[in-house]
Amino acid sequence: MRNPVRTEADAFRFLLRTIVYFALIVSGGLINRWLGLGVFILATVIVAARLSRKGPHIAPAFEASGAHPGTQHRVLVVADETVNGDELIAEIVHRASRNSARVLIVAPALNSYLRHWTSDEDGARLAAQERIDASLVALRAVGVDATGEIGSDDPLQAIEDAIRSFAPDEIVIATHPEGRSNWLERDLVAHTRERFALPVAHVVVDPDVD
């Protein structure tokens, strides 16, 4: 859901829609009170459906940072439980060795909705940190310059935050295979490509194969 009063212009549009909403209800009510009730229910359902709809496409928030002249190439890796997958480790090693890159691994603190809304995220953060630590051990063992941090449980938000702090040259997203990945279900890779003007690579990690 997109915030309907994010800016003054949004608030103004919200006002105009409010006027239309109430004008329709009052007009219906003036003709017949049951018609007014019907218009009220119909208009409210339409408003609720529009508010719960995914927000419109947001223009890329960041321009491509491009290469960092005189500095190391930077690779941002975002992964859930797949962060220790062989396919991902191999991909990171491949990219890091090609460009002698710095790697930042972001593991979102994955949590249940109930725990999220009750702010009970200690367990999720601990699990994410353990995954990061295991991944860093594996990468450093093969000489990759890697660091890790826990990200927001919203992967798109985690990527945006990491872009601000790390300014990567490319993004690698690791997910489970199609059909078993919530992130793919939510079209994370496509949304990341739409939103950030950076090269985005997608690595599928199948734990069953591992």
User: Minimal distance in Å, beta carbon 205 to another protein?
Assistant: 27
User: Minimal distance in Å, beta carbon 147 to another protein?
Assistant: 10
Size of the site for another protein (CB under 8 A): 28
CA–CA gap between residue 123 and residue 87 (Å, rounded): 26
User: Minimal distance in Å, beta carbon 44 to another protein?
Assistant: 13
Nearer to another protein, 162 or 204 (CB): 162
Nearer to another protein, 20 or 90 (CB): 20
Map the footprint of another protein across residues 142-201, applying CB under 8 A.
Answer: 149, 157, 160-161, 164-167
| Sign of the Cα pseudo-torsion (148, 153, 159, 161, in order) | negative
User: Minimal distance in Å, beta carbon 179 to another protein?
Assistant: 30
Residue indicated by tokens 């990491």: 162
CA atoms within 13 Å, Cβ hemisphere of 129: 6
Any residues with CB less than 8 A from the CB of 99 and at least 6 apart, and which?
A: 72, 73, 75
How far is the CA of 160 from the CAs of 106, 154, 191, in angstroms? 11, 10, 12
Map the footprint of another protein across residues 6-65, applying CB under 8 A.
Answer: 6-9, 11-12, 14-15, 18-19, 22, 25-26, 29, 61, 65
Nearer to another protein, 160 or 194 (CB): 160
